[in-house]
Amino acid sequence: MDTQLPAAVVNRTRLLHTLIAVAVAVVALLGLRPPAAAADPPPAVPGTTGATVVRVGVTGSDGGCGLNTSNRPRCWSFNWFNTSSPPTGKITSIIGGDGSYACGLRPWGTAVCWGFGSFDPPGGVLTTLAGGSGFACGLRPSGRAVCWGENQYGQTDAPAGRLTTLTAGPLYACGLRPDGTAVCWGSIRSKDTPDGQFTRLDSGPGSVCGLRPDGTVTCWPKYEYAPPPPPPGRFVDIAIGRTFGCGIRPNGAAVCAGLIENRDIEVPDGTFTRLMAGDDYLCGSRPSGLVECWGEDDHTHRTQAPADTTFTLGAVSSGGTARCSIAADATLSCTGPSSAVVDAAPDGQFLQASVGDRHACALTVTRTVNCWGDNASGQASNPTGRYTTVTAGDAHTCGLKATGRVSCWGSNASGQADAPSGLFVTVSAGADHTCGLRADRTVACWGAGPAVPAGTFNSLSAGEGFTCGMRTAGKLTCWGAGPGAGEPAGAFVAVSAGAAHACAVGVDGLLTCWGQGTVTVPPVGRFVTVESGAGYACGIDNAGVTRCWGAVPGA
């Protein structure tokens, strides 16, 4: 059904653009430099060096922000609305609204907003943010959506029920249910939302587009001035602007349909892993993590993304109360409720991290092990020597030495630290047992637990009282006691065992989780890896975004 773009959308957008245009004209007439450039110059142009950024978000009309490796915001724009002047302190996730404000999540999950007419977000823990025109929404760890700010079209009246992801346009918001169906509220209602499953949503000024599981795109609602969808075909990511629609093909190439300021869109060559659109410009993440922006700049610096930064979030590990990630520049970031793991995460560069119940360990770039957190049983003591991997259990830790031998330390109440002799290719610590994959691909386990099944494996993951291993052709075998001991049929590329559940990534990138709890209902989408914790799990999807579900710590 054809609809008209709400006048409030047009009026607010025109107001923002008019304010920018008037300010630019005054600056030009007086021969002055932009005030933001004098006080807060835009980030460096290509060829400079500086901090790595691990997450990026664009604002609707006036720039973008990213997070450096210390989880500090770094923004670029003309700064008319102070969006380029974020608050001090660490932020772990960042979004932009209509160009007049931005919001971010603190490491402990609370939200903070800044910019023109910024508003106070609700208290409590949030896991995801999405920003519209004068309002924003977030997801609680339970999946319940909460919204705040202006509400003239009901855009802050979030629906009941669990959502796995959010997107917001000027006066509306949409989310995906656990089954992949979409729901919208505000100026775009659910009655206009098409049926069927989606893996990703992206919103423009007056319409929203969804990526289907088969890679095709559906956009709604239909009206005369709606932005065009991306060109026909299949995509792995999409981005919708004011007068254009773009997407990333399965081969990584970006393509666009529509115009920007009545001009054809010149899409850069090469491959991308993620696209993010503002009103009249786009930014794309390269496989290297560098971000490149293009489109209309009109003196606002919004297409001048820091050329010295990368925006790729690396490996993720989930434990009892925290989750830690390795960024593209090998720095470590831990989030969750305040704890010895989150509060004492070390500086430096790392290759891999593993989170236990109340401690964590990471492998440095020099192949030494650095542990922190609860050390009541010696599980956070740093061993000597060089290692190729480290794995944290409830109260013990094991590592694979460069020699191929396994070394364990910490609690040995069940024999979980009595590593057998011989050569191994990997090791995985569970709650009170440990398993290792020998050089001949057979499995050895020690500590509490049943006998190991015969045969060879390609990888394994130890949970609480059970272990899962992946055989040739991607078949799973799980053994032990507890809800996670069963295994699904099918072919998989990764598996992770948690406390009372396990999750696996299929060859098609889709998640399968089994056991107990809400964690067994994973989000819709395609993933490259997954890590199970105690009642929750986190995975990195094919756009490089970390997504968590279940009883996420802090709920």
413 or 97, higher pLDDT: 413
Helix/strand/coil for 38: helix
Looking from the CA of 483 toward its CB, the CA atoms found within 13 Å total 15
Could you say which DSSP state residue 40 is in?
Answer: S
**Mean pLDDT on 142-170:** 90
DSSP codes of every residue in 249-303: -TTSBEEEEEEETTEE--PPSSB-SEEEE-SSEEEEE-TTSBEEEEE--TTTTTT
Res. 77: pLDDT tops 80? no
Res. 282: pLDDT tops 90? no
Share of the chain above pLDDT 70, in %: 75
Q: What is the pLDDT of residues 309-365, one digit of tens each?
A: 333 334 566 666 678 888 766 788 888 776 888 888 899 888 889 999 899 999 887
Res. 21 pLDDT band, cuts 50 70 90: very low
96 or 160, higher pLDDT: 160
What is the C-alpha separation between 107 and 55, in angstroms, rounded?
14
- For the question of whether the overall pTM of this predicted structure is more than 0.75, the answer is no
Note the pLDDT of residue 247. 93
Res. 438: pLDDT tops 80? yes
Q: What is the pLDDT of residues 446-501, one digit of tens each?
A: 999 778 999 989 889 999 999 999 887 789 999 998 777 888 998 888 899 998 99
Note the pLDDT of residue 351. 81
Cα-Cα end-to-end distance for the chain: 40
Note the pLDDT of residue 19. 35
What is the C-alpha separation between 118 and 370, in angstroms, rounded?
41
Res. 299: pLDDT tops 60? no
Count Cβ neighbours within 10 Å for each residue of 212-245 and write b for 16 or more, e otherwise.
bbebebbbbbeeeebbbbbeeeebbbbbbbbbbb
Note the pLDDT of residue 403. 79
Share of the chain above pLDDT 90, in %: 30
Mean pLDDT of the chain: 77
Res. 140 pLDDT band, cuts 50 70 90: confident
Note the pLDDT of residue 369. 95
